[in-house]
Amino acid sequence: MTAKSQKHWTGDPADLLRVGQGFRLADVDPDAKPGYTKGKKRGAEDLSAGADELDELQERLYAQSRVDDGSPAVLLVLQGMDTAGKGGIVRHVIGAVDPQGVSLAAFKKPTPEELAHDFLWRVEKHVPQPGFIGVFDRSHYEDVLIGRVRHLADDAEIERRYGAINAFEKGLVDRGIRIVKVMLHISSDEQKARLAERLDRPDKYWKYNPADVDERALWPQYMDAYQTVFDRTSTPDAPWFVVPADRKWYARLAVQALLLDALEDIDPQWPAADFDVAVEKARLAAS
């Protein structure tokens, strides 16, 4: 972590937020800001500086893929309870880079056609192409989260899915896709406040769904289902990161830092010319 946008971090966010052995979700404070010493105002400045870095790294990633078919991609998987801030990450972190290099997929309630296939069928179709930053707003993990909590499949099928997910993600990593899996972790109280705001503002009514309150009643079951997800699917190839998200500005900065970390690790390079520059200059001048 040497990038200038990250000078206020006391440690590598990837190390501080990664789900490792013995991780307990219940021990994470959603209001914390691990590794970041400054406040909201400095956070906004750092987010802006980081956006410029992300923008250049994304362009390099894309450029490299234009001349190399086996070029890497990045896949950001965003999970979290309702109002956790997934949309804000897309808007404020991903929104800072060129839309031409981003592929975004929002996974809603599966359609009948999707349900007729294996749960990974609809997901595979949205895996980012080489050179792209793919973003999953919800993902195949819904099938072991709401799927488990609401018993949308039998126990044996739910069990099968953890292994299927690991095999699927291993396949992506082997194809050169760097996976960044993020759970935005908010508290139940913070969710309550955010839902209340949607009920207070007529320009936010459309974001409110009465079913959200029904899901709140199942909060402990959801936290258990997330813990199981972390226990079973936080692999060395595709680890989970739990990002405290009661402070939106911190969550955005942290996810940006995780993306910068992944991209700096890929270290994409401007491709060399696959033509003779002098010859082309002469042809152009004569045209």
CB closer to a copy of itself, 38 vs 216: 216
Return the residue matching tokens 């992300």: 54
What is the token pair recorded at 166? 């690991």
| Shortest separation between residue 51's beta carbon and a copy of itself, angstroms | 11
| Shortest separation between residue 137's beta carbon and a copy of itself, angstroms | 7
Q: Where do contacts with a copy of itself occur on this chain (CB under 8 A)?
A: 63-64, 66-67, 87, 90-91, 94-95, 98-100, 102, 104, 106, 137, 192, 195-196, 199, 202-203, 205-208, 210, 213, 216-217, 270-273, 275, 277, 280-281, 283-285, 287
CB closer to a copy of itself, 64 vs 233: 64
CB closer to a copy of itself, 192 vs 232: 192
**Residue 108 burial (CB < 10 Å; 0-12/13-18/19+)?**
exposed
What is the token pair recorded at 208? 């409110």
| Shortest separation between residue 10's beta carbon and a copy of itself, angstroms | 31
Beta bridge partner(s), residue 36: 9
Extract the runs of DSSP E, i.e. beta strands, from the chain: 73-80, 102-106, 133-137, 177-185, 240-244
DSSP 100: G
| Shortest separation between residue 183's beta carbon and a copy of itself, angstroms | 19
CA distances to 51, 138, 260 from 130, rounded to whole Å, are 21, 21, 17
| Shortest separation between residue 114's beta carbon and a copy of itself, angstroms | 16
CB closer to a copy of itself, 94 vs 184: 94
CB closer to a copy of itself, 167 vs 213: 213
CB closer to a copy of itself, 137 vs 261: 137
| Shortest separation between residue 91's beta carbon and a copy of itself, angstroms | 5
Pick from 161, 130, 164, 131: nearest CA to 147: 161
CB closer to a copy of itself, 237 vs 280: 280
- Across 69-96, b (16+ Cβ under 10 Å) vs e yields eebbbbbbbbbbbbbbbbebbbebbbeb
Q: Rounded distance, CA 280 to CA 34, Å?
A: 52
Q: Rounded distance, CA 194 to CA 191, Å?
A: 5
CB closer to a copy of itself, 109 vs 236: 109
Phi, psi of 24, rounded to the nearest 5 degrees: -125, 115
Crossing angle between the packed helical segments 248-266 and 40-67, to the nearest 10 degrees: 30
